Every structure is written in structure tokens, then in C-alpha cells.
A and B are shown apart, each in its own frame.
Chain A
Amino acid sequence: MPTEFKLPDVGEGVAEGEIVAWLVEEGDTVTEDQPVAEVETDKAVVEVPSPYNGTVRELHYDEGDVVPVGSVIVTFDVEGEEVEEPDVEPEETEDEAEAEPEAPESGGRTFAPPSVRRLARELDVDLATVSGSGPSGRITEGDVRAAAEGEAEEAEAEAEEAPKQAVSKVEEESVSAEPQEAAGREKTLAAPATRRVAEELGVDLNDVPAAEERDGEAFVDESAVRAYAESQQAAQAADAAAVQAGESGESGAREERVPYRGVRRTIGKQMEKSKYTAPHVTHHDTAVVDALADVREKLKPVAEDQGFRLTYMPFIVKAVVAGLKQHPYLNSQLDEENEEVVLKNYYNIGIAVATDAGLMVPVIENADEKSIPEIADEMRDLIERARERSISREEMQGGTFTLTNFGAIGGEYATPIINYPETAILGLGALEERPVAEDGDVVAKETLPLSLSIDHRVIDGAVAAEFANTVQEYLENPSMLLLE
């Protein structure tokens, strides 16, 4: 019997979701808990499981539709009692001696003239499924032809859907041809045919990047030659086009419209809420981190041996946690309704990650209880999964303080927006050598610019400054982390 399935509540306060992808098709058999759709809500893509064993009767929305929670998205045919078919016994052909008057049967009698039976075979129509319009239900030629057309229409509808899917796949797989650099060898092996092609295209075989070696020498095939030639042409064409564009000032379409949906929109809303709720003040400072750089250098090979890559981030996390312990108001939340500041005794540090879909903040829970290697590993894992969009909503919730390392891309100072409903966020600039004044001299030192934004309803500038100082102390004297 047909059973409706409504879009369930997939997260706190989520009112709607976008159907990113259907994982089943109409007519598919599904088992309980088998995922039937991918729905995007908040910043996560969630798999929606089937609550029943049965078959998919109808999918009510298309991919890309935004569906309010509680709407019927799928109708299932749920497994129940099967309808019993009437017993049709095929007639047995008994082999009794001579003239057997019984007709040999292959099960069931058909009331259709031989020419109609032949037509059914030619048109691939199963007579058992055709209802006859002739007298007493006799099957006529017209009945068979009508049945054949009906099947053809169904097949067409199916065929139309298939190419749509194929088209979207192709679009996803657009390969970017990056310009290749000339190899500049002295000797290259190639089949005679390849040499001819290279000659025709005006390509020097010794320049073609060689992916293969034969007999100890570089070897190129025809496709490599062609690809290289193409990339050369493309590079030249791009140059020419750029020059032209610069000259004429034309650049194709004047405007492009990109949908403001999904994660992007969610981030937008979050940012809006945060900025317009909390009065933001940003405090800047610079930590001189030669010592930290040394420590990291020394520990890098050790870390490699242990199987993980050691960046500055774990140290910074530890330093921040140390600071938060001493300045608890930066690890808090303002509960306006109850008019209370909630000071948190646990330290869940969010790490802002830039992904294709936008900004995501996975959280390292209880960072105070974790060692630097553990933090390093967890960070790597969370960041990877965030970028792959396989991270869960839960892993991005419950943070108490956030770090944003825009310095990985570049830059010195910024004015980061606090990750609502936290009360503070620390932005990290690029860790590099900068001029520092020391004892009257200007020297080059490893420096790490810090940008600390705070919610001024809860934290004053002075407190912010003190926190920053504490963190800096740990960063500039990393041995202090041993005591934490």
C-alpha cells in the first residue's frame, strides 16, 4: 500500500532542505535505513534514510528543489501481504501411445487468431498482458498494436531521462587544460608515426613532456605530442585574447547570475546574525615566534617518523587554550534570554576551513585534554572531511572559541567575525619573517600577526588585550606549553 514519507527534521531549527541528489529511482526496491536522498541543510549534507522496506512509488521533488521540513518527498509501496494469483495449471502433455487428442499447452489458453499471435511476437508484446476488445474478450490486432505503442511510450520517457543525467555528468567532468612547460631534452624515443605527427604540428619531440620511459630513455606517444601542441596553442591564444580584451575592453557577458543558496546562504545568514548582534572590536598584535619556529623545525622529522605532519596550528591551539583558561570570559556565550553569561569549562576549539562551498568550522572537542600529535591528527582529518563535504553537522557544533588561519593564504591583519554564539575569535596572519625592532636594531624575525575580535557586550578591550598577551607569551616561549 502507498505510504507517504515526509522530509524529517534534520537539524535544530532547520526549516527546509535542498534536495541535492536522489539516491533511488521510482520503481527501486529499498530496505529500511537505506539512504534515499541527500539533503543539504545548514552547512552539512545529510543522508535521509528510508523508514520502510518496500519500493519507491513516486519521488515528489526534483534535485535542486528546496523543500520545507514536513513535506511529503517520497511515496513508498510498503511490503505487505502479496496478492494471491489464481492457480493456472498448465495442461500436461501425456505421452500415451498413438493418437493423443489432447492439445499441447504451454500453460494457459490464448484467445487470439494465429495472425494476431504472430504480430504480438513481432512487436514483442506479451499476450498475457493484453486485454482483448473482441467479442468475449478475444484479442484483436488493434489490441496488440495499442499495447505495443503503450510500451513504446514508457520506454521513450525512460530514455529521455537518461540523457539528462548523462549531460549533467559531462558538465561536472570539465577538464582544465593547464599550460605545460617545455621539457628541453636531448634525446627522445618515439614511434615513426609519432615523429611524423610532431613534424606536422611543428613540435620538437624533445620538448614534449614525457610521462614514460623506454629502454632508459624518455618516450612520448602521439597523444602526448598532440596534448603538448594543444597546450602551446591554448597558451598563445589565451595571451592573444588577454591582449585583445585589454585593448577593446570587452569581456563577453556583462553580468553573471550565480544562485545564492545552500551553504553560501547559510554562511551569509550566520555572519549577518553574528555581526549585527555582537558589537565587534578587533585587537591586533604581533607575536615574535623564532623560538616556536625552532621547536617546530626540530620536531618536524620526529613527527614524520610518527606518521603525521606537524604544522604551527596545534601549538597555537594549545597556547590559545592556555590563554582561555586564564581568561574564561573569552570562552563564553551570552544567554540574552536568561540574561546570563555562560562561562564554559570545556574547550572546544573551532578551526575555520575554506572549502569549495564556503567557510566551514569543524570543532576539536576538549582540546585541553589532547596532546599536540592528537590535535594535529584530528585537525588534518576534520579539514579533509570538511573539504570533501563528508563531515557531519555534529562535528561543526558545540565550539567555544574559533581560530581562523587566513594567513595560510596570505595577509597580516584582519577583522574576523565571531562565530555565533561564541564571544571571541582569533585570526592568524601569515607566519613569516618581518622586520622587528630589537635593542635599537631592526632585525628579521619570524612573526605571527594576531587579530582578536571580541563581543564587547561580554568582553572589554582590556580583557582582550590581556588574553592576547597571554597567548603571545606561550607562543613566544613554547616551553611554557610543557606546563599546560
Chain B
Amino acid sequence: MVVGDVSTGTELAIIGAGPGGYVAAIRAGQLGIDVTLIEKDAWGGTCLNYGCIPSKALITATDVGHEADTATEMGIHADVKVDVEQMTSWKDGVVDQLTSGVEKLCKANGVNLVEGTAEFAGNGKLRVAHGGQGQGSETIEYENAIIATGSRAIQIPGFEYDSEYVLSSRDVLDLDSIPESLVVVGGGYIGMELSTVLAKMGCDVTVVEMLDDILPGYEDDVKRVVRKRAEDLGIDFRFGESASEWEERGDDIVVTTENADGESFEYATDKVFVAVGRQPVLDTLNLDAIDLEPNDDGRLETDHTGETDVDGVYAIGDVAPGPMLAHKASKEGQVVAEVVAGKPSALDYQAVPAAVFTDPEIGTVGLTEAEAEEEGFTPVVGKFPMSASGRALTTGHSDGFVRIVADEDSGFVLGAQIVGPEASELIAELGLAIEMGATLEDIAATIHTHPTLSEGVMEAAENALGHAIHTLNR
């Protein structure tokens, strides 16, 4: 703008075009709201560009290679060569397809797309700085706003990302060659998924974890299956150690860790990948301008419609309380869009499923047995080992189990934990059961296709009811 500041008005301004933001934008567009979606980096956010999608692409690619390489028992003899650059560029292609898909969907639904970094400039006003050519910055006046700025990886002091030796997950997904060895600091789901990918490509992986086991929040018997398999793949685990410093030594680096007793250990490695958690991005928004403050956990408090303490300002996804999961963000985005459109929508989901794409996969939803007891239910549990699944045996992967937790009196399904092949897909059925208020009987009575892994779900339900066919009932 040459002189002055002609502001653009909009009904709904969404900051951040990740799975929360862009979904909210499309839904809002569908409902006829004049919506403006502002993104500073790439459409689709972290999930599409640097997270879920690229990681799953690489997981699949490496799986294909690894499977082919280890299927001699089945009579497959392959000589697998991995072209990492090509794999990365194929992964990029998938990502591009999806991000341009997001752009197209947004435009098709009448969403106004603005590239730039937004911050609040007072009630009802955003200031958006455009990175490149054209107008330097503009003012957007909004009636409603959604903060969907997502999260960024936490950096450990002393281990600032440099994309050369100290890698973030983004760097790991963008490698042009596989390092010979890698120290992974953090045994959570990101660390575990990418460790598996690299191990399957021949990297010598050591996972250093501060707690005494991987994957906090999951039950022991679930974790055990994954950890054992990881060990079989050659991944070393060092528990109870936290990374304290690193330094270059010749061509390599040395990472020093400490345990609770004060002992320190050194690991020589090519690079170190730090994945110790993520924190919400709120510091770039100038929230002071609208008198909004994060809570002690660094998130923005919201009510059942996703609204923050400031009228008309909503928060979804990783900046709002709850698990940092893309599908939770998308659900919140949809609900907020509907609320802004005046519909009686609310965040009343009964359970959010979660998946870990390790080998084998983990899929969980709802309550564990212990949690069910804490809530005052009398839990009854049904289990089905993958080793009893015909289909699992035919895939050559039969580690793991399906467990369903239900309320003994009513039979209502309260939760489920699945470890094994396709756990991430299988868990959807249990999510539906919980939302519907279905009972064990409902699942057991539904015919499940044979031979599939999903039969395991049915059998687990039958087991809880005491009449499973392919396992012994307790």
C-alpha cells in the first residue's frame, strides 16, 4: 500500500493452516462464512509438511524395503537397494500433492488465503506481515478468530538444532543420506517411529530416554511388544539417562548423558536426533494485545465450544488443552466453524483415538483397565492375541494383541488397546463403539470379515463375554 492502511474485513480469521486451521476454514466456507486463512509457511502445516504425512511415507517406504529384504521364509529373495534421495523426493511429491490439494479445497470453498505471519493488534484486529514481495503488511479486521498455530519441537539447552549434527524431526524427514549411526534423545512416539525407519535402513540407532521405558502413557504390556521388536531390529535402549552435552570429535560427534546417580556416559555417533516433546506456539501472536494469557501448561483455556476467555477468539489443536493430535485438531476446527456459523455444535467427543506407527503399530482409544476402575466402573477385559489370528499369521507378523475394556454391568465399551499389524486402522471400530455407546454384545454380534485382522476385535469382545471361539476364555 502506498499510503494509509485500508484494512480487510472478514467474519472469521484463522491463524495457521495445519490440520486444525485448514479444516476449520473449509468447514466455515461450506457454511457460507466469509473466512480468511493465514499461514506463514506452508499450507497444511506441520502435519502435512513436516510431520504425519512425510513420516508415514517414509515408514511405508522403509517397510517395503525391509519386508522385501526379510521375506526369505516366504520364498522371496530380494536384493534391496535404497536410494534415499529418490525416497525423499517421492515423499516430497506426496506432500506437494496434499498441500496443493488443501489449497484447492480451500479456494473451492471460498476461503481467502493470505500468506504471512499474523499477530494481534488489538481487539478485532490482526496485523499480517508478508514475507516477500508486494505489500509489506496489512491489517485484517475480524469478527471471530481461531488460533491454530500448532506446536514446535522442544529444544534441549545445549542441543539447539543446527540441521547438521543436531537434528529435529523435520531434518530427519529430509535426509539425503542415511547416517551410519544416530543417537536418538527421547523415546516417545516421534523418537520411536523415526528410530524404526532409520534402523530398517541400516542405521545403528541408540535411543537415550530419561524415563525408564519408552512411550510414556501406554501400558507396560503394550510397550513391551514394541520394545522387543525394536531391539530385534538392532535398536539399543539406554533408559534413565538424560542428554547433557555434545561435541564434535573428528568426523563424528560425542553425546554425553547422565543418569540419576550422576554417572555419565558417552556415545560416539554421526548425528544426534532430539525428540523430547513439543510445545505450543503462542509467543509470536502478541496475545497481550487482546489480554489473552496461556495457562500454566502453556495452552489456551477453552470451553466446550473451543472459545477462549476472549469473546469471539477460539483456540484449536496443539495450542488448546488435550492431546497434541492432528485429528483432535481437525475435530475442534470443525466444531468451532459450526459454532461460529451459529450451529449448536460442541466438543463432546467421548474419546480421542491415538496411533503410534512403530513396528508393530499401536492403536488405543478410551480408557485402560486401570483408568476405568478409577472412574468408578467395574471393568471387564477381553483379550485376543495376534498369534491366534489367522490373518496375522498370513502376514508373517503375529506379535501383539487386541484388548477391549468394558463395564461389567452394562457392557458399554470403555476403551481398547491394540498392538500389532494395522493397529492404527483397527482402532477406528472401537472408537465408533465408544461414541455410539455400544456394548460388547454389539461388537460380538457383528459379523466381521474372515480372514481379517478385524476379527481379532470381535474375538476380544467375545472373550470379555466369556465365549470367544479362537482363544481360551478365562
Contact = CB atoms under 8 A, between A and B. Distances in A.
Judged by CB atoms under 8 Å, the answer to whether A and B touch is yes
Interface of A: 88-89, 91, 93, 95-104, 106, 109-114, 117-118, 121-122, 124, 134-139
A98 B345 contact: no
A97 B277 contact: yes
A109 B375 contact: yes
Given A98-B278, A103-B366, A121-B346, A111 B189 contact: no
A134 B437 contact: yes
A96 B277 CA distance: 9
B435 interface: yes
A269 to B, nearest CB: 63
B217 A96 contact: yes
B350 A110 contact: yes
A124 B435 CA distance: 20
Nearest to B409: A136
Contacts of B218: 99, 101
A104 B346 CA distance: 13
A137 B277 CA distance: 41
A100 B323 contact: yes
A113 B437 contact: yes
Interface stretch (B33-41, B351-359, B383-391): B351-359
Contacts of A137: 410
Given A99-B217, A100-B217, A109-B375, A139 B344 contact: no
A354 B252 CA distance: 114
A103 B277 contact: no
B322 A93 contact: yes
Interface in B306-344: 321-325, 328, 344
B216 interface: yes
B19 to A, nearest CB: 15
Given A109-B350, A109-B375, A99 B188 contact: yes
B371 A95 contact: no
B12 to A, nearest CB: 21
B247 to A, nearest CB: 27
Contacts of A100: 217, 322-325, 354
Contacts of B188: 97-99
Contacts of A122: 344
Contacts of A118: 344-345
A319 B435 CA distance: 94
Nearest to A90: B375
Contacts, number: 105
A106 B350 contact: no
B190 interface: yes
A96 B350 contact: no
B190 A136 contact: no
- Sort A-B residue pairs by CB-CB distance and give the 6 closest, nearest first: A136-B410, A111-B437, A100-B323, A103-B351, A121-B344, A97-B277
A117 B299 contact: no
B190 A98 contact: yes
A99 B352 CA distance: 11
B322 A104 contact: yes
Given A104-B352, A122-B344, A95 B437 contact: no
A116 to B, nearest CB: 8
B437 A139 contact: yes
A101 B217 contact: yes
A111 B364 CA distance: 19
B421 interface: no
Contact of B323 (A104, A135, A138): A104
B297 A95 contact: yes
28 contacts: A91-B375, A95-B297, A97-B277, A99-B188, A99-B189, A99-B217, A99-B323, A99-B325, A99-B355, A99-B356, A100-B217, A100-B322, A100-B323, A101-B218, A102-B217, A103-B365, A104-B323, A106-B347, A111-B412, A111-B437, A113-B435, A113-B436, A114-B348, A114-B349, A118-B344, A118-B345, A135-B411, A136-B439
Contacts of B409: 136
Contact of B324 (A91, A98, A102, A117): A98
B358 to A, nearest CB: 11
Contact of A121 (B321, B345, B349): B345
B367 interface: yes
Contacts of B324: 98, 100
Contacts of A111: 410, 412, 437
B463 to A, nearest CB: 19
B375 A103 contact: no
Interface string B363-398: 011111001000110000000000000000000000
Nearest to B348: A117
B44 to A, nearest CB: 20
Contacts of B352: 103-104
A95 B345 contact: no
Contacts of A138: 412, 437, 439
B152 interface: no
A103 B217 contact: no
Contacts of B436: 113-114
The listed residue with most A CB atoms (<10 A of its CB), out of B304, B346, B365, is B346
